[in-house]
Structure 1
Amino acid sequence: MAKRITTQTLLAVSLAGFALAAKADLVVLQYHHVSDSTPPSTSTSVSLFEGQMEMIGELNIEVVPLESGTRDALDGKLDDRKQVAITFDDAYESVYSTAIPELEERGYPYTIFVNTDAIGSNGYMTWEQLEKVRDRSGVTIANHSEDHGHLARRPDESRNDWTQRVENSLDTAQETLADRLGIDVPMFAYPYGEFDEALERKIKERDWLGYGQQSGAIGATSGDTRLPRFPMANAYGQLNSLKDKLRSKALPVDASELPDGVIDENPPTLSFTVPDSISVDRLTCFASGQGRVDFEVSGDELTLKAPESFDSRRFRYNCTHPASDGSYYWLSQQWLDLSKPED
């Protein structure tokens, strides 16, 4: 019979039963604009960005290049080394004028994901600026599609039309980066953080790492085509919660168990096998805009479903669990409602 875990009724277990090893994983931060005058939903204020970089230094967390840090984390090679990687989507002009000088003063490496059609247009970096930063130590420039389109297959789109559209966007951008900058980096950031299983296969076929916008750290159980990053816009990057994010670890749930996130019911149901190292009374789950959500456990299977439907195109379930060193294990499942309008 399923055991229901509520905020009022928790299972009683000993402290020794929930302690997880203090092994470190890679935390990836995701930015768009770094500016006080761009849209708040995708912007990090200048003072907040400076404070975030200062906190990384205060916590003595090593800032590493994204690709090597990701591969080490996936291979379980970090041991107790705390590491963070810094990424920017879209190559906005404020990244060049504001963020990059701050990073270079601190000697922090970073990655810029480029949607190639936008380069040189109003508000974006130019090809000349990208050439300048390309040659600097610790800088990576990678693919963010040609046109920043929604790449998951649309409900009314034929498979052939989708294949042609997506392959053109992926490959044209990669070819443009090679032609203009002489680079061929095997990493891709999904526009809007949206993906489905078929799109993941396209990334896998190209032997690329694929990065989303769902929160959490990258560890040995993460999926290499659905890698998490913590969004750092003003609403999510405040310093009072940043320390927990910077020190977070991947909840040890095999990513192959998790759905691609495209929903066929609203609210959706999430199920996964609870690792032996997890005590369910220490696990807390949340749904976007709905706060803490109850879940059920039957045997070693956890099932979670929000009590209300969602109105947005993208939303998340997040689950956290304390680690033995005072940090948190983190799992974020992003959901995608293809019936809702594209941004």
Structure 2
Amino acid sequence: MKKPFRNALAFVAAPLLTATSLPASADLVVLQYHHISSQTPASTSTTPDLFRSQLAMLEKLDIPVKPLQAATEQALSGKTGSTPVAALTFDDAYSSVYDTAAPILLEAGIPFTVFVNSQAITEKRHGYMTWDQLKDLARHPEVTIGNHSADHAHLVRRPDETEDAWHRRVTASLDDAQETIEAKLGTDAPLFAYPYGEFDAEVETLVKKRGWYGYGQHSGPIGPSSGDTRLPRFPMANAYGGTDGLKDKLLSETLPVDANTLPDGTLKQNPPVLHLTLPDGMKPGPLTCYGSQVGQLSVTPTGDGQTVEVVADRSFNSRRFRYNCTYPAGNGRFYWQSVQWLDLSQAED
């Protein structure tokens, strides 16, 4: 018999928050992990102690953790209800997830999704799970296995790549991974996580054609205005997952801006200009936006009073960066919207 969530986390020694009063609606917050370890690169790792503290905060705020696909479908259809909902995801299928995270989650009966890049598993690369370990996880009803491409390559078409070559390369990566996962594990979930969180309209079209949900690495909750092939997740590595800011993320709501009106993020100018049209009743004044490594962004209302231009005061020199915007939602909560930009002139990782 599974132990109650509270008993499974009773050993956590971390400051916890009291329950918060909530407004009438709520959205889905997806937390994104890679390694759960103190021995792996800090930029993609969450220490075991921090991981336990994050789970404890979910419990203290009384936020249920649900399976990713069902929770996503409910959030997109606006049927999440009045209680915030969370889902947990792990990219790459690292061995620390099997050794450290999975025992904690399975003991507590908490569902989670592992996104697999299949070649790393087949080639038995150091630090990754094996197919036997993934099969062991997949037998649990709490565990879903998703697609993270075959080779974990950058999927957006390269500047010197023909459309035909790009289409063959990316189609093979998407389909080979899905076919291998189904052959090895007997599962075929319509869940895809973009390597590096990179996507554009062309890649989204391929994901949509397959009937998959596509998850990025730009932050924010999922709600009715989200796009089903550009779904946000909150990165939970050490630098981003600290408990000081976690409450705001877990209780956030989607800024009600239609995802179809947002750019796909491929950089056309540097710094990029983001146009946001706020719904009636939201005035531009309270909107606050920040850019990766540049701090607060300029937010300038345009003539109609509901549309704003968001831009940094200097150029970016990284391949990926984000504009994150928040707006007060009442009761100490925030609406949240993030756009990840991709500069194809910068070298691939």
User: TM-score normalised by the shorter chain: which range applies?
Assistant: over 0.9
Match of 1:284 among 275, 285, 288: 288
Equivalent runs, 1:161-176 vs 2, <5 Å: 161-176=165-180
- Structure 1 Cα separation of the partners of residues 259 and 51 of structure 2: 31
Match of 1:37 among 11, 36, 39: 39
Match of 1:335 among 338, 341, 347: 341
| 1:70, distance to aligned residue in structure 2 (A) | 0.2
| Residue 28 (structure 1) aligned with residue 30 (structure 2) | yes
Partner of 1:62, secondary structure, is coil
Equivalent runs, 1:144-293 vs 2, <5 Å: 144-293=148-297
Matched residue, 1:134:
138
| Residue 323 (structure 1) aligned with residue 329 (structure 2) | yes
- Structure 2 Cα separation of the partners of residues 314 and 57 of structure 1: 33
Matched residue, 1:61:
63
> How many residue pairs are counted as aligned between the two chains?
324
| 1:22, distance to aligned residue in structure 2 (A) | 4.0
- Structure 2 Cα separation of the partners of residues 325 and 24 of structure 1: 12
For normalisation by structure 1, the TM-score amounts to: 0.93
Partner of 1:282, secondary structure, is coil
Show structure 2 runs of 5+ residues with no match.
1-21
Aligned partner of 1:317: which letter? Answer: Y
Matched residue, 2:18:
none
- Structure 1 Cα separation of the partners of residues 105 and 219 of structure 2: 22
For normalisation by structure 2, the TM-score amounts to: 0.91
RMSD: 1.0
Matched residue, 1:312:
318
| 1:278, distance to aligned residue in structure 2 (A) | 1.6
| Residue 102 (structure 1) aligned with residue 87 (structure 2) | no
Aligned partner of 2:148: which letter? Answer: H
Q: Is 1:186–1:207's contact at 8 Å kept on the other side of the alignment?
A: yes
Aligned partner of 2:326: which letter? Answer: T
Q: Is 2:267–2:342's contact at 8 Å kept on the other side of the alignment?
A: yes
| 1:274, distance to aligned residue in structure 2 (A) | 1.3
Which runs of at least 4 in structure 1 moved beyond 6 Å after TM superposition? Answer: none
| 1:21, distance to aligned residue in structure 2 (A) | 5.8
More relative contact order in 1 or in 2 (CA 8 Å, sep 6+)? 1
- Structure 1 Cα separation of the partners of residues 242 and 67 of structure 2: 23
Match of 1:113 among 115, 118, 133: 115
Q: Is 1:22–1:323's contact at 8 Å kept on the other side of the alignment?
A: no
Partner of 2:301, secondary structure, is strand
Aligned partner of 2:296: which letter? Answer: R
| Residue 303 (structure 1) aligned with residue 309 (structure 2) | yes
